[in-house]
Structure 1
Amino acid sequence: MFRHILIPTDGSIEGARAVRIAVDLARVCGATVLAMHATVPFRGGRMAAAMAMAEVAYDFDLIAQAEHCVDAVRRLASEAGVVCETRIAYSGHPAQAIVETQRECGCDLIVMGRRSGPHMLGTSLGANVVRVLRESSVPVMICP
């Protein structure tokens, strides 16, 4: 059914559930998975030395967080006997990075967790999930 599943992950509780479901689905289908994390680059000014130092520290933290997120997926996939690739995307728009990664890598399914809470655009999905749903050319599985 599915051969290459994209798993965008942010390390959240909602994302962790989606990761487990995606890895289980990949195991059953004999699919590979691509774990990705989209990071938002530093948006501060580049004029002052203090801002430059803040940018370096911010980027270092982002890279560490991104690596932690995709490594968690890689470990879970390995335990399940599923082949897992990883990718870290640097983008001001995570949803755009997800859709672009899906297209570039030929993934035939995207599995995402949804954010819950009262501040999610009047929906229970979240802005990134809504945008991926609108722009994706492949099925998107949303895990509550």
Structure 2
Amino acid sequence: MYRNILVPTDGSDITRHAIDTAIQLAKTVGAKLTVISAKEPFPYSAISEMQPVPPQEFFDAQERIASARVKIATDAATAAGLACEAYTVEALHPWEAITDTAKSQGCDLIVMASHGRRGVSALLLGSETQKVLTHCNIPVLVVK
């Protein structure tokens, strides 16, 4: 059925529920888990002589945050006896990092959280989940 399941994480509680779902599914079908967390790129337009945060400090902080997010998932997968790979990827748009990683790592299912935006905010802001659904030809399981 599925051999490699991708689960993106942003560190939120609902994402943790998606991770748990992906782990249960991977155990059931004998798949491995691939975890990704997107890092924000440095806001280069803000470069001036008066930098509030030096670029390297910003990159290091983003890496620490993303690494901590994927560690939660990899620890849970390891405790469940699953093979698991983790990636932190810099991306302006997380949905692009998710779809690119799914393709490059040969994932055949994406399990991700829905943040449940409704009404006008969903139309104006969109959601990463909606964009993955729109731009990816890999099946996506949305966890609420």
Report the TM-score when normalising by structure 1: 0.90
Q: Name the structure 1 match of 2:103.
A: 103
Counterpart Cα distance in 2 of 1:3 and 1:71: 21
Q: Give the Å deviation of 1:117.
A: 4.4
Q: Name the structure 2 match of 1:33.
A: 33
Q: Does structure 2 conserve the Cα–Cα contact (< 8 Å) formed by 1:46 and 1:52?
A: no
Runs of 4+ in 1 over 6 A off after TM superposition: none
Counterpart Cα distance in 1 of 2:33 and 2:141: 14
- Give the length in aligned residue pairs: 143
Q: Is the partner of 1:89 in helix, strand or coil? A: strand
- 1:101-134 alpha-carbon deviations (Å, 9 max, x no partner): 01111100000011134574149x9521111001
Paired residue type of 1:96? E
Paired residue type of 1:88? T
Counterpart Cα distance in 1 of 2:29 and 2:131: 27
Q: Give the Å deviation of 1:61.
A: 1.6
Across the aligned residues of Structure 1 and Structure 2, the Cα RMSD in angstroms comes to 2.1
Q: Residues 43-82 of structure 1 correspond to what in structure 2 (within 5 A)?
A: 43-45=43-45, 47-51=47-51, 53-82=53-82
Paired residue type of 2:105? C
Q: Does structure 2 conserve the Cα–Cα contact (< 8 Å) formed by 1:8 and 1:112?
A: yes
Q: Residues 107-118 of structure 1 correspond to what in structure 2 (within 5 A)?
A: 107-118=107-118
Q: Name the structure 2 match of 1:137.
A: 137
Extract unaligned runs of 5+ from structure 1: none
